[in-house]
Structures are given as C-alpha cells and as structure tokens.
Amino acid sequence: MSVRHALLALLSEGPKYGLQLREEFEARTGEVWPLNVGQVYTTLQRLERDGLVESDGSGDEGPQKGFQITGAGSAELAGWLHTPPDLSSPPRDELVMKVLVATQVPGVDVREVIQAHRRYLVQLMQQWTRIKEEEAGDDLNLALVVDAELFRLDAVVRWLDAADGRLKRAAADPAPVAAPAAAPLPRVRRRAGSRR
C-alpha cells in the first residue's frame, strides 16, 4: 500500500493538517491499516521535497501544519490510479514453497500439510466475515477492504484445493519419469521468485 499516494488522495479533496491526514487515512481504510504519526510526517516531507504537495509555510512543524496538493501532485495521483500494480512475475510465496517442499520430505503427508493451512485460512476468513457481518454494514470502505481480504484468502484456499486434487490424481496414476536433465527449464521456473 502506497502511503504516499493515499496522502495525495486525501489532499486532493482540499488542504489538510498532518494529524487530520493520519486520522482520515485510518478511518477510510476501515482502520485495518494503522499508520504511525512519524510515517505521515516523513512522507509529507518527501512529497513536499518532490513538489507534489506544498505546506502553508506557517513554519510550524507540528500537527497543525497545513498541506495542499500541487498540480504535479494531482498528475502523479491520476497516473498512479491508472497504473496496474506489477503482478506479471510470480511472487515468492511461502505457502507454495511449503507445499512443494512437503512433497519431497520423507514421512510427511503433504495432504495433511495442505489441510493444516486450509483450516487456518478458513478460520481467518471466518473472522473477516464476522467483521463484515457486524461492522461493515454502514462502512463502505471497511466492507471493500474486508471483501478484498476474503477474495485474497479464498484464492489461496482454492489453490490448496487444486493442489490437493492434483496430488491425489498423481498418487493414483504416477506420471512417467521426468524429462531428460538437459531439457531447458520452463520460462516461468526461471522467473519464479524474481520479485521481492
């Protein structure tokens, strides 16, 4: 999450004080992303240095110092909103690694490993769903954040289900031994883990 762009978004509504920016940031992300006050001021200083915001020049460095967005800041914000995040290369996913490793460690039942992770994820989803049920009714931003989290966790559970099914089929019908060692690795393997 880019704190920098979130602050620009808040300032696009009009001039605001530092403390106010922190409170509004938390309120609008459903209080799921707490932000410390230091982070707010450091980010504001950088934004000012880069000409994306300007302060009211009161000289007061405290919470009452006011900020407003510049033309360059508005352009930066619009550009960021329309730029897709980099999802092109697979991230190095700890859960995927654990399942891959579990297939190779003698004496480990990989399907039990999968189930342990599945249970944990579903428990987390139950907690998010309770938040949606009890608190997100009147809070649109919180509902959006909770949905995002539920869909993200759901995708991981689906991957576990698919992996479980694939391992079951593979155990029932073992594939012929792998291709010769000289064969080139698939492109995606070489790229795996290139991010982060």
Residues that bind another protein (CB under 8 A): 1, 31-34, 111, 115, 118-119, 121-131, 133-135, 145, 148-154, 157-158, 161, 164-165
Residues 6+ apart with CB under 8 A from 25: 3, 6, 7, 10, 33, 35, 40
Cβ closer to another protein: 41 or 128? 128
State the nearest-atom distance from the C-beta of 134 to another protein, in Å.
7
Cβ closer to another protein: 53 or 136? 136
**Residue count of the chain:** 196
Q: Quote the CA–CA distance of 105 and 154 in Å, as a whole number.
A: 27
- The residue behind tokens 């309770």 is 130
State the nearest-atom distance from the C-beta of 135 to another protein, in Å.
8
- The residue behind tokens 């509504």 is 13
Count other C-beta atoms under 10 Å from residue 115's C-beta. 13
Q: Quote the CA–CA distance of 94 and 117 in Å, as a whole number.
A: 11
Cβ closer to another protein: 58 or 103? 103
Residues 6+ apart with CB under 8 A from 185: none
State the nearest-atom distance from the C-beta of 122 to another protein, in Å.
5
State the nearest-atom distance from the C-beta of 8 to another protein, in Å.
20
145 sits in which H/E element: helix 140-172
State the nearest-atom distance from the C-beta of 34 to another protein, in Å.
4
Cβ closer to another protein: 32 or 96? 32
Cβ closer to another protein: 13 or 112? 112
